[in-house]
Each structure stands twice: as C-alpha cells, then as structure tokens.
C-alpha cells in the first residue's frame, strides 16, 4: 500500500481505529444484520449511538448540563445564518480574522445590525487583532477561533461581557476549552471530530427565545433540541464516524493529552520553518495556529515553489498546497495527524534545502 502523509485541511486525516470501526458498522451495525447506512434512525440501536456520541462530547469537553449538544447538517456555513437568525435582536458584534469570519459577518448583516469590532484584513489576516472593545449592548460577540487559510488561532478562552459565540470548526477537541465561557460553539466535523456531513452545535439553553422575528422551523435551534437532533433524518454515517473518532480520542487520554501532542507537532514544524533558509512562516509568531501551519518560499526563492511541491509529493506528502487565495504551503496538523508525518515533512524540507544550498 502506498505510504501517504495526509496534511489536508479538510476533509482531513482520521484515526485508523475510527475508520476500522466504521467499516465494521457499514457491514453489520450492532448485530442488526444491516449496514449502519440502512438502519432506521428511529431504532433503539441508533438511539444508543446518539446517546453515546452526546455523552462523549460532554465528557471530553466537560460540557455543563445547561448546554445542549446538536448534530445537524449544512456545515458551519449554515450556522453563519442560524446564529444571527436565533440570537440577533438589536446588535451583533464580530471579530474578522479571515475568510470564514468575514462570511459569518456577511450573513449577520443580512439580518440586522452587525458590526465588525476589529479586523486583520489589512495584513492579509496574518494576525489576531488586539486591544479591541466589545460593545456591551451587543446580543453576542462572534469569533472564529482558528483560521485555516491563514494559519492564525485564538488559543485561549477570552473574557467577554456579552454572549460569546465561536466557530471552532478547525480546532475543536484540539485543546481544552472552558465551555462555560461561551453561549454557543459550532463547527463542521471534518477537521478533528469526524468526516464531512455533520455539524456540531453546543448551545446554552437560556439564550434562546429572545428574538421577535419569525424563525423558520429548520433554522430554529429549539426545533432540533426538541427533536434531539432528529427532527429530520440525521447524517447517520457521519455521526457514527464521529462517535468512533471521539472513542479513539478518549482512549488516548482525551483533549488534554492530544493538546500536548498537537503543541509538540506544531513546534517541531515551526522550528524547522524558522531554521530552514528556503522557507518562511506567514502568520505572526504569537498568533500561529497549532492546527494549520502556513508557510511560503523565502524571499528570492519563490521560483522553487513548484519544484518543492513535486519533491514533497514524490515523498508521500499529501495536501500541503496552500489555499488558492494565498498560495504557498499549508500543513494541517489535526488530532489524527501522527508525529511521524510531521517528521517526514521536516526531513523532506531539510533534504530539499541541501539540494539548493
């Protein structure tokens, strides 16, 4: 079998244990004699999967009892609309740190008064804004904790005077989070907690029911709370793979353990980028993401970009091409990306440097 080191930004590498467990369920789910993609989502066997998946979320992130956990469709992009639909009555505040944060702000502006309190667009989103003021009359303040395209991350839980909403699509479960500091956390699963097709929402129950606008049934969080994420047929296979992924995470020590490994992997790669004469990082050092490491050829070495891409590809590196909007390279070091893969990429960079001394 061909050896591949998967650095894709999403869908991303998943733990082999989760893949193997999901393959078994595709063949025979819970002894039913049916595949998991054929079984009724109203069956007791499926109820058990939903209950276990919610329990794993609650245990791994220490989610308080006054929060609901939802598994929905539509990706984080639909949440850009659902958040203001359910929470924006008078004013919403947003921190613009990248393309996805900008898109979230756009949807809120389409529904009402939404303001940008700070933006890093002036430097192509290569840093996290500091020193901004959160308006105390806002219904909520929205942040995107990790910016996959630009490689920046808010690595701590900020103190917020209003309801804090966070898109954690690409760093959820990668580090400890004090959920009690947030009113709502959402994201697509396809970075750290499963495959594409399911979206997680962690929501404090008391923030709902405050808006006066009509809420379409499918865009109303309360609909999905009341239906236990099964108001309509849920994305069963994606949820099942999520369950298997979270079981793997628990088995290796949980979020606290994986955070230590993630920090170690990121430091290894950033140290090589900073040492290597052919490469340079693009994000401000204090804001560098531990999930998405973005870098380019050093000044004067730009002509080597395509050559390095082919060089790396020949050595099994997959998915290191930077986002089309910024170019260069991006190595996504999500939870299931092994340390071995990072070591292989570093060795490739060192070998390429020796060829071009």
pLDDT tens readout for residues 305-348: 999 999 999 999 999 999 988 889 999 999 999 999 999 999 99
Mention every residue, 6+ apart, whose C-beta is less than 8 A from residue 230.
41, 42, 50
Residue pLDDT, tens place only, 106-144: 999 999 999 999 999 999 999 999 999 999 999 999 999
Is 313 part of the annotated catalytic residue set? no
Q: What is the number of domains present in the chain?
A: 2
What is the domain range of residue 337?
A: 253-355
What is the chain's Cα-based Rg? 21
Q: Which long-range contacts (CB under 8 A, 24 or more apart) does 161-165 make?
A: 161/134, 161/136, 162/93, 162/134, 162/135, 162/136, 162/138, 163/87, 163/139, 163/204, 163/207, 164/140, 165/83, 165/87, 165/140, 165/141
Rounded distance between C-alpha atoms, residue 167 and residue 104, angstroms: 9
Contact by Cβ (8 Å): 258, 245: no
Which pLDDT does position 324 carry in this prediction? 84
Q: Is residue 4 part of a domain?
A: no
Would you state the structure tokens that stand for residue 128, as one six-digit string? 């996290």
- What's the CATH number where 203 sits? 3.40.640.10
Domain boundary among 213, 229, 251: 251
Give the residues across from 115 on adjacent strands: 93
Q: Is residue 68 part of a domain?
A: yes
- Number of Cβ within a 10 Å radius of residue 334: 27
Catalytic residue, chosen from 139, 155, 167, 171, is 167
Q: Is residue 208 part of a domain?
A: yes
Q: Is residue 75 part of a domain?
A: yes
Residues 155 and 222 placed together within one structural domain of the fold: yes
Give the residues across from 92 on adjacent strands: 114, 140
Contact by Cβ (8 Å): 170, 149: no
- What's the CATH number where 311 sits? 3.90.1150.10
Q: Is residue 5 part of a domain?
A: no
- Which residue reads 């061909």 in tokens? 2
Q: Report the number of secondary-structure helices (H) and strands (E) in the chain.
A: 9, 14
Domain boundary among 195, 218, 251: 251
Is 248 part of the annotated catalytic residue set? no
Residues 116 and 20 placed together within one structural domain of the fold: yes
Is 100 part of the annotated catalytic residue set? yes
Give the residues across from 204 on adjacent strands: 67
Residues 213 and 313 placed together within one structural domain of the fold: no
Catalytic residue, chosen from 46, 57, 100, 248, is 100
- Taking the model in full, what pTM does it have? 0.97
Alpha helix positions (H), 201-235: 221-226
Residues 234 and 316 placed together within one structural domain of the fold: no
Looking at residues 58-62, what average pLDDT do you find? 98
Question: CA nearest 153: which of 287, 293, 18?
Answer: 287
Residues 259 and 343 placed together within one structural domain of the fold: yes
For residue 2, name the pLDDT band (cuts at 50, 70, 90): low
pLDDT at 72 over 70: yes
Rounded distance between C-alpha atoms, residue 149 and residue 126, angstroms: 10
Residues 279 and 179 placed together within one structural domain of the fold: no
Catalytic residue, chosen from 46, 139, 155, 191, is 191
Contact by Cβ (8 Å): 98, 72: no
Domain boundary among 251, 275, 308: 251
């Amino acid at each position: 079998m061909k050896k591949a080191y998967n650095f894709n930004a999403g869908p991303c590498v998943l733990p082999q244990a989760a893949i193997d467990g999901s393959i078994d369920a595709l063949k025979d789910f819970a002894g039913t004699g049916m595949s998991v993609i054929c079984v009724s989502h109203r069956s007791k066997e499926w109820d058990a999967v939903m209950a276990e998946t919610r329990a794993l979320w609650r245990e791994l992130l220490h989610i308080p009892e006054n929060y609901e956990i939802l598994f929905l469709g539509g990706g984080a992009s639909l949440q850009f609309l659902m958040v203001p639909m359910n929470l924006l009555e008078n004013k919403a505040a947003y921190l613009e740190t990248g393309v996805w944060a900008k898109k979230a702000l756009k949807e809120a502006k389409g529904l009402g008064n939404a303001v940008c309190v700070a933006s890093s667009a002036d430097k192509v989103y290569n840093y996290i804004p500091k020193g901004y003021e959160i308006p105390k009359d806002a219904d909520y303040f929205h942040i995107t904790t990790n910016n996959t395209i630009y490689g920046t991350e808010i690595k701590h839980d900020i103190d917020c005077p209003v309801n804090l909403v966070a898109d954690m699509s690409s760093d959820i479960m990668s580090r400890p989070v004090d959920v009690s500091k947030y009113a709502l956390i959402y994201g697509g699963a396809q970075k750290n907690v499963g495959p594409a097709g399911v979206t997680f929402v962690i929501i404090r129950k008391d923030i709902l029911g405050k808006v006066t606008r009509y809420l379409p049934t499918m865009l109303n969080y309360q609909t999905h709370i009341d239906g236990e994420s099964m108001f309509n047929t849920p994305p069963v296979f994606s949820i099942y793979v999520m369950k298997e992924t979270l079981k793997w995470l628990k088995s290796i020590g949980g979020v606290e353990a994986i955070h230590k490994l993630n920090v170690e992997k990121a430091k290894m790669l950033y140290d090589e980028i900073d040492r290597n004469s052919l490469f340079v990082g693009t994000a401000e050092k204090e804001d560098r993401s531990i999930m998405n490491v973005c870098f380019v050829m050093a000044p004067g070495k730009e002509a080597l970009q395509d050559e390095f891409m082919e060089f790396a590809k020949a050595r099994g590196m997959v998915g290191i091409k930077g986002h089309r909007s910024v170019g260069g390279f991006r190595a996504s070091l999500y939870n299931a990306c092994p340390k071995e893969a990072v070591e292989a990429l570093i060795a490739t960079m060192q070998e390429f440097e020796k060829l071009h001394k």
